[in-house]
Amino acid sequence: MSTYNIWTDIELNFLKDNYNLLPAKELAKKINRSEEAVFHQARKLKIIKLDIIDQKDIDFINDNYLLYGAEYCAKYLNCSVSKVLVKSRFIGKRFERLYVLGYSHKLINNKKFYKCICDCGKYMIAREDGLRSGNIRSCGCLNKEMTILNNKKRRNPTKDGVAKNALYSKYKYDAKNRNYIFDLTTEEFF
């Protein structure tokens, strides 16, 4: 049978004052309680853990996560490691042509955005779900390159003289519209 230790006023005040400032593990250690007891008492007192990560903290995570790791960032920011990991899980990863530099922001609908750099050198902000699904693969340069490549395949000037015939036809059509006589053969034209 477990024994129940009644919380003193000093412990309760310490919990109220520091619940949003210190991780639960550290709180439990300072007041000689288990983490579960701290969480239970906080729920009982209706204390809500606020999201203490602001833009300054995000910049710190972006700058230090790859160098020192999540534990260091969490300790410096006085927050949980899991909170740091959520903000930094894509930092340093490559998605096709994009390299993720850091966390950017989150919208009201919980869509997360990350700062990226493309292989072409352009910076951009990309949505997390777009990176994961593969819908966002570059800053737009890949689409441009694919369009140019597809156009070259369709209009290859060396293949059967397609471009030459188009030019010859255009001149012949324009001459007819202007009431000029155009009686050159394709060999004479080129």
The tens digit of pLDDT for each residue in 23-78 reads: 778 888 999 898 888 888 888 887 766 555 667 788 888 888 888 888 888 888 77
Whether 103 and 136 map to the same domain: the answer is: yes
Q: What pLDDT is recorded for position 150?
A: 79
Report the distance separating Cα 49 and Cα 93, nearest Å: 30
Q: How far is CA 71 from the centre of its chain?
A: 22
Q: Residues 39, 64: one domain?
A: no
Question: Does residue 153 have a pLDDT over 70?
Answer: no
Answer yes or no: is pLDDT of 172 > 70: yes
**Do residue 99 and residue 26 come from a single domain?**
no
More confident residue, 108 or 154: 108
75 and 135 housed in the same domain = yes
**Do 80 and 135 belong together in one domain?**
yes
Clarify whether residues 96 and 35 are in a common domain. no
- Residue 25 half-sphere exposure, CB side, CA atoms within 13 Å? 7
Residue 3 falls within a domain, yes or no?
A: no
Indicate if 36 and 63 belong to the same structural domain.
no
One domain for residues 31 and 65: no
- Pair (182, 135) in one structural domain: no
Which structural domain, as residue segments, surrounds residue 177?
156-189
Is there a domain that residue 73 lies in?
A: yes
Q: Are 55 and 48 in contact (CB under 8 A)?
A: no
Is 2 a domain residue? no
Q: Give yes or no: residues 32 and 85 share one domain.
A: no
- pLDDT surpassing 90 at residue 149: no
Residue 49 lies in a domain: no
> Is pLDDT of 163 > 90?
no
pLDDT at residue 1 in the model: 45
Note the pLDDT tens digit of each residue in 12-34.
999 888 877 777 788 889 998 98
User: Quick one: 101 and 131 in the same domain?
Assistant: yes
- Considering the domain architecture, whether residues 77 and 132 belong to the same structural domain is answered as yes
Residue 70's pLDDT is: 85
User: How far is the CA of 140 from the CAs of 14, 112, 182, in angstroms?
Assistant: 53, 20, 45
Q: How many domains does the chain have?
A: 3
pLDDT at 152 over 60: yes
CA distance 1 to 12: 25
